[in-house]
Amino acid sequence: MRAASAHLGTPLGTVIVTVDHPSFSRDIDRFLTELRDEPRFFGPSASANPKPFPSLIEALRGRGGFRVAAVEAGRIVGLARIDGAGEMFVAVVADRRGAGVGVAVCRHALVRAAELHYRKVVVRSTRRSRATRRMAEQLGCIMVEHDHGRTDLVLDPRRAGPAFTSQQLIA
């Protein structure tokens, strides 16, 4: 298990770890179940604090690429997965949204992506997701608007933040 310290803007009390080892399966299942069971809201407040779609939850469950999690007191509170094609999926539990957990887990995933020589990472979203747009601004994404309200947030992992390697981030 590789744990990251408070570098790259990680919220106090949050540890970032790689979670692809089978020993994390139960913790990841609990996290994904918590996302799935979250109530869905509609209207303007839903775009500020959206419940993850079932397709996102399934993408986070996927095994290709790699996954990085934000852990607080033994509980996974945020998870990012970058697949082999460079698409990033990210979700944070409802009670930790807006606290910087998503940005922190994405930054650490981007550092790992740079180490693995990814040249581009893309997050797919919609124009209405204010939460994703805030995260994109903090990460320095290039936003590409598409038809039907779709948006791609394009990142260069080599510019993910300070020049830390994951080895330098070990606590």
What's the domain range around 103?
Answer: 3-159
How far, in Å, CA of 144 to CA of 101, rounded? 24
Give a yes or no: residue 133 inside a domain: yes
- CATH code at position 110: 3.40.630.30
Give a yes or no: residue 165 inside a domain: no
Quick one: which of 113, 112, 87, 91 has its CA closest to 102?
A: 91
Q: Which residue has the higher pLDDT, 54 or 76?
A: 76
Give a yes or no: residue 138 inside a domain: yes
Give a yes or no: residue 171 inside a domain: no
Q: Which amino acid is at 83?
A: D
Give a yes or no: residue 93 inside a domain: yes
Q: Which residue has the higher pLDDT, 1 or 40?
A: 40
- 24 pLDDT higher than 90: yes
- 45 pLDDT higher than 80: no
Give a yes or no: residue 78 inside a domain: yes
> How many structural domains comprise the chain?
1
pLDDT band at 125 (very low <50, low <70, confident <90, very high): confident
pTM of this prediction?
0.79
- The SS3 assignment for 150 reads strand
User: What tens digit of pLDDT does each residue of 80-120 get?
Assistant: 999 999 999 999 999 998 888 988 999 999 999 999 999 88
pLDDT band at 5 (very low <50, low <70, confident <90, very high): very low
- 148 pLDDT higher than 80: no
How far, in Å, CA of 104 to CA of 12, rounded? 11
How far, in Å, CA of 137 to CA of 131, rounded? 10
